[in-house]
Amino acid sequence: MIASPNGHQNGNVGAGDASYVRFENVQKSYDGESLVVKDLNLDIPRGEFLTMLGPSGSGKTTCLMMLAGFEPATHGEIFLNGHPINNLPPHKRGIGMVFQNYALFPHMTVAENLAYPLKVRGMSKAEIETRVKRALDMVELPRMAGRRPAQLSGGQQQRVAVARAVVFEPDLVLMDEPLGALDKQLREQMQYEVKHIQERLGVTVVYVTHDQTEALTMSDRVAVFNDGRIQQLSSPQALYEAPTSSFVAKFIGENNVLSGRIASIEGDTCRVELDGGGTVGAVPIAVQGIGSRTSLSIRPERVVLDPGPDVPNGLDGVILELIYLGDHIRVRMDVAGNDEFIVKIPNGAEMRPLERGARVRLGWRTRDCRALDPVG
Amino acid sequence: MTDTAMSGPASFADAGRTRDPGAAPLTTADGLPLKAALRRSQRRLRLQAVLLVLPLLLFIFVTFAIPIAMMMSRSVQNPEVSEFLPETAAVIDDWDGEGLPGEEVYAAMARDLATGQENNTVGRVTARINREIPGARGFMLGTAREAATLQPPYKEAMLAANKGWGNERYWRLLKRETRSITPAYYLLALDYEYDSNGAIVKRPENYQVYQPLFLRTAWMSLVITGLTILLGYPVAYLLASLPLRTSNLLMILVLLPFWTSLLVRTSAWIVLLQQQGVINDLLVFSGLLGDGSRLRMIYNQTGTIVAMTHVLLPFMILPLYSVMKTISPSYMRAARSLGASNFRAFVTVYLPMTIPGIAAGTLLVFILAVGYYITPALVGGDSGIFISNLIAENMRGTGAQVRLAAALSTLLLVGVLLFYWLFNKIVGVDRLKFG
Ligand SMILES: Nc1ncnc2c1ncn2[C@@H]1O[C@H](COP(=O)(O)OP(=O)(O)O)[C@@H](O)[C@H]1O
Ligand SMILES: [Mg+2]
Best of B336, B338, B351 to disrupt the A interface (most A CBs within 10 Å) is B338
Residue A79 φ/ψ, nearest 5 degrees? -115, 140
List, for residues B21-61, the tens digit of each pLDDT value: 555 677 777 778 888 888 888 898 899 989 999 999 999 99
* Residue B337 exposed, middle or buried by CB count within 10 Å (0-12, 13-18, 19+): buried
CATH topology of domain B210-431: MetI-like fold (1.10.3720)
CB contact at 8 A, B235 and B227? no
d(CA B298, CA B303): 4
pLDDT class for B121, splitting at 50, 70, 90? Answer: confident
A62 lines ligand 1 (CB under 6 A): yes
Is A1 within the bounds of a domain? no
Q: Are strands A313-324 and A328-335 parallel, antiparallel or unpaired?
A: antiparallel
Which residues lie closer than 8 Å to B89 by C-beta, 6 or more apart?
B81, B82, B178
List, for residues A125-134, the tens digit of each pLDDT value: 999 999 999 9
Could you say which DSSP state residue B431 is in?
Answer: G
Per-residue DSSP letters for A23-74?
EEEEEE-SSSSS-SEEEEEEEE-TT-EEEEE--TTSSHHHHHHHHHTSS--S
A206, A303: one domain:
no
pTM listed for this prediction: 0.79
d(CA B320, CA B228): 11
User: Which one of A27, A38, A62 would you pick to mutate in the ligand 1 pocket, going by the greatest count of ligand atoms within 8 A of its CB?
Assistant: A62
- Is B322's pLDDT higher than 70? yes
CB contact, 8 Å: B339 with chain A? yes
Instruction: Out of B328, B339, B352, name the one closest to residue A117 (CB).
Output: B339
CB contact at 8 A, A203 and A47? yes
Instruction: Out of B330, B341, B355, name the one closest to residue A101 (CB).
Output: B330
CB contact at 8 A, A15 and A81? yes
User: Which one of A26, A36, A38, A225 would you pick to mutate in the ligand 1 pocket, going by the greatest count of ligand atoms within 8 A of its CB?
Assistant: A36
Task: Give the ligand at the shortest distance from the Cα of A58.
Answer: 1
DSSP-derived 3-state class of residue B425 = helix
- Is B4's pLDDT higher than 60? no
Q: Give residue A248 CA to ligand 1 midpoint distance, Å.
A: 21
CB contact at 8 A, A287 and A270? yes
Name the amino acid, one letter, at A283.
Answer: V
CATH number (domain holding residue A183):
3.40.50.300
CA torsion angle A190 A194 A199 A204 (round to 10):
-150
What per-residue confidence (pLDDT) applies to A236?
Answer: 95
d(CA B214, CA B415): 9
CB contact, 8 Å: A96 with chain B? yes
Q: Which long-range contacts (CB under 8 A, 24 or more apart) does B247-254 make?
A: B251/B321, B254/B313, B254/B314, B254/B317, B254/B318
- Is B17's pLDDT higher than 80? no
State the average pLDDT for chain A. 90
A60 lines ligand 1 (CB under 6 A): yes
Instruction: Out of A91, A117, A165, name the one closest to residue B341 (CB).
Output: A91
CB contact at 8 A, A51 and A177? no
- Is A376's pLDDT higher than 80? no
Beta bridge partners of A230: A225
Whether omega before B153 lies within 30 degrees of 0, making that bond cis, reads: yes
A290, A215: one domain:
no
Q: Domain span at residue A153?
A: 16-241
Taking residues A75-79, report their average pLDDT.
Answer: 95
Of ligand 1's atoms, which has the minimum distance to the CA of residue A61?
21
pLDDT class for B13, splitting at 50, 70, 90? Answer: very low
A165, A198: one domain:
yes
Measuring from atom 9 of ligand 1, which residue has the nearest CA?
A62
A363 lines ligand 1 (CB under 6 A): no
Is A334 within the bounds of a domain? yes
* Residue A282 exposed, middle or buried by CB count within 10 Å (0-12, 13-18, 19+): buried
Of ligand 1's atoms, which has the minimum distance to the CA of residue A30?
4
Contacts of B352 in chain A (CB under 8 A): 105, 107
pLDDT class for A208, splitting at 50, 70, 90? Answer: very high
CB contact at 8 A, B80 and B177? yes
A111, A157: one domain:
yes
Domain ranges of chain B: 80-180, 210-431
List, for residues A188-206, the tens digit of each pLDDT value: 999 999 999 999 999 999 9
What per-residue confidence (pLDDT) applies to B327?
Answer: 94
Name the amino acid, one letter, at A199.
Answer: E
Q: Chain-centre distance of CA B339, in angstroms? A: 48
CB contact at 8 A, A362 and A305? yes
What percent of chain B stands above pLDDT 70? Answer: 93
A81, A156: one domain:
yes
CB contact at 8 A, B151 and B143? no
CB contact, 8 Å: B353 with chain A? yes
State the average pLDDT for chain B. 87
Taking residues B381-393, report their average pLDDT.
Answer: 91
Q: Which of B210, B269, B172, B223 lies closest to B393, judged by CA?
A: B210
A164, A79: one domain:
yes
What per-residue confidence (pLDDT) applies to A11?
Answer: 40
A50, A194: one domain:
yes
A293, A228: one domain:
no
Taking residues B1-17, report their average pLDDT.
Answer: 42
List, for residues A146-157, the tens digit of each pLDDT value: 999 999 999 999
- Is A181's pLDDT higher than 50? yes
- CA distances B30 to B10, B14, B23, B37, B305, Å, are 10, 11, 17, 10, 71
What per-residue confidence (pLDDT) applies to B16?
Answer: 43
Contacts of B427 in chain A (CB under 8 A): none
What per-residue confidence (pLDDT) applies to A88?
Answer: 95
A299, A222: one domain:
no
A234, A343: one domain:
no
d(CA B103, CA B105): 5
Q: Give residue A60 CA to ligand 2 midpoint distance, Å.
A: 6
- Signed CA dihedral, B286, B290, B292, B296: sign only: negative
Domain boundary among A195, A218, A241: A241
pLDDT class for B260, splitting at 50, 70, 90? Answer: confident
pLDDT class for B151, splitting at 50, 70, 90? Answer: confident
Contacts of B328 in chain A (CB under 8 A): 101, 103
A336, A265: one domain:
yes
> Is ipTM > 0.95 here?
no
Domain boundary among A218, A241, A264: A241
pLDDT class for B80, splitting at 50, 70, 90? Answer: confident
- Is B5's pLDDT higher than 50? no
- Is B410's pLDDT higher than 90? yes
- Signed CA dihedral, A135, A140, A142, A144: sign only: negative
Contacts of B340 in chain A (CB under 8 A): 91, 116, 120
Is A295 within the bounds of a domain? yes
Ranking A85-89, A330-334, B100-104 by mean pLDDT, the lowest is B100-104
Identify the top-confidence range among A91-105, B139-153, B263-277, B386-400. A91-105
A111, A218: one domain:
yes
What per-residue confidence (pLDDT) applies to B34?
Answer: 84
